[in-house]
Structure 1
Amino acid sequence: MAADLFGEDAPARPDVPGAAPLAERLRPRLLADVVGQEHLTGPDGAIGRMVAAGQLSSIILWGPPGTGKTTIARLLAEAVGMRFAMLSAVFSGVADLRQAFADAEKMAAAGRRTLLFIDEIHRFNRAQQDGFLPYVERGTVVLVGATTENPSFALNAALLSRAQVLVLNRLDEAALRTLVARAEAEVGKPLPVTDEARTALVASADGDGRFLLNQVETLFSVAIDQPLDASELAAFLHRRMPVYDKDRDGHYNLISALHKALRGSDAQAALYWLARMLVAGEEPLYALRRLTRFASEDIGLADPQALVQCLAAKDAYQFLGSPEGELAIVQACLYLATAPKSNAAYMAQKAAWAAARDTGSLAPPANILNAPTKLMKDLGYGAGYAYDHDAPDGFSGDNYWPDGMPPAEYYRPVDRGFEKRIAERLAWWDERRREQRGG
């Protein structure tokens, strides 16, 4: 689905001065002009249904920068005839919130409801977020919050229970090209770039319509005699860094993508996501820690060398530094992606930990207890212990489970890689135990 910010035929705003930034001059005048977020604004979308009914409920608009959150909030208020008030959590404090609520109460007394738009709402602390609740519950304001962060982590549960979360899509290539065409129509001349450079310009926006229009405005602001090619455009404009907050949602999304690609044995995709993280500035040792975790969680004993490869990559990176040491990280990533997979060790850990919590007070059987004193020997500690190295094949088949607890099975090796051989050993030992215990 396209993720356009402006419709194909949306006119420029006549009420915006010509000296205003290009992005502001191209803001839609009607909610119907916002296209590409049709899953929200269309007749079957949440916003479309609210407008049709003339009844708004509080919502949280979650999406990347430059996808139209502020525009949608403003046009939503206009569509249902509500007063629009806006605060930014970056610049506002408790006094600003109190004033906004007081103004809304006055307008409500006069018969007009207020749509209160809070930009970057996740930047308000939890106490400030709780302060919205009574005004939302009484209907003093309809709250529309905008955030680039995952609301599940950034917003109070109480606030989320009173607001519907709506997800905006990042702008795709078609949408961004539409913005360039609208800018050219607004300015009245074509962008001074070649077709190749236009493609590079669109790609550099990384889905952010506002950023793209600012770059376009920069190109229109200077005299350029001949259309710029891609290399000349790169020299003229600053390159946009990938959107990646190392301690926020983008951080966890990319590491999740890397983990899933590794688990799916897609070496090419895994390498891409690793590159996305490192190019964007992720700490290489963090990536190595996640690869090392993967080696135990998703490969385990199917290939015991996977863990060794990760630890060796860590040592190599610390020895060589960046960028030379990053090749060792790539090697570990590719080894993990191409190794046989097994989560048997991971599942065994979960099952054993659960059993330990349930049966934590059971003592080991007396035959495997150490007996360093005469008293302990008299109490039966170590009595009847079978020393495995003295038994045929080095296997005694003795009991190692607590009295009153039957043997359990936590580790179930898969029929892949080295674990296939481990499974054969376990089956042989199990058969010997059954024979010794009479079946």
Structure 2
Amino acid sequence: MAFSALSSTGARWTTSLMGGGLLVAVMAPASADPLEERMPPGMLIEMVDPTLCSPPPEEMSDAEIIAMLDSDDPQMAPPIVGAWERQDERWRVYGQGWFNDSSSGLVVGTMLMLRSEGDELQYLCMVLSPHAETAMVEGEAALVGPDVETIDGDTFMAMGILGERREGLGEVLADAGSVHFEQAAEDTLEWRLTFDGRLTGIDEQPQEGTEISLRLEGELSRDSSMRVVDWGRDDLVDASAPSVSEEELAEVKALFMEDMRLEVEPVVTPDNNDIVQRTVYRYDYDTFASLSDDSGWRSTREHFFYQDGDRLRPFQRPSSDTDLSAFFGGLLDPGFVLDEATADDFRELLMTLTGEDFFEEEDVKLDNIINFRPDEWIFFTGTFFDHYKAFVVYTDDDGHPDKVLYRLKQQPTS
């Protein structure tokens, strides 16, 4: 599939929608009684690679995705294909997969698209991790679920999450199966997988027809950022990471802190700005002060944070669609009302935090601030190719901001 078209530079589908719906599955407790004590699939996925589960971006319709799947262009061909069966229904499978290996074996992560005969789409994110100290990186191994403690021979534990774009449907657990790996190139594995398992509920929701099967074959690409989690170890450590003593780590941390230079100054305070309830600080730092030029060590990009009790909350400059509600929820004064009288001041706050110069209205024939609906304000910041970048603020009935989003492709009207 046009995994070149749907993927980002890091070989991941462009926009992670897990936060919108599938993350419910990631963090939900397991409901299957015999597996009450097991780790949920989402936790394992987070340990192996928190960026793994990323269905296609919301602005890409199902019809567009299906058209790409049906394309005759060889560049659009998926590196992994297969079949998914459940309740006498057979779904075609398309997807991508990644692996990383170490002296303790290899780990595999996949992001798969399931397509029914009626062109319904679902998504399956799955991880295979070494089980019972399996160290193989090539050959044949058995597949098991998280409730299996021991088994003879090389074994991988397999778990995943099934969902739609904005809704988690269930946790996928292996009962039995096998997987075969063959080194095709330094950074490529050929693999075949046979997987019989079950679908368990999320948030104690019952599941009908829980028996499932999955068959896959194709290529896996190396991703050196994935962590090899050895399921057979009590601490589930990253088996690919070298081990050092606590004393050595403490010594390195102490030297690191001593060689760091930090400069902090307040830029927005409740005394000079009616919008905020906490002081916003700008900070710059030089990681290795001993190697710095005293005449100009400060970085060219500013960073901001505020203190919230015993925590410091940094502002992460957005580079993609981002929900910033948590940051602004703790920063804004509870009595602040976003209206025509305060919109310009709020825009100034956004400009301070982002360091961006908002475009001039006459350059793009568009107002910087748009308020078509009483509960929605759009603060445009510039252009992104043929689209507009913007902050979108949603308010409650009294005009208090309760949701702040950053969007790379914002239309003049929503």
Quick check: TM above 0.5?
A: no
Interval of TM-score (by shorter of Structure 1 and Structure 2): under 0.3
Structure that is richer in strand per residue = 2
TM-score by length of 2: 0.23
Which has the higher Rg, Structure 1 or Structure 2?
Answer: 1
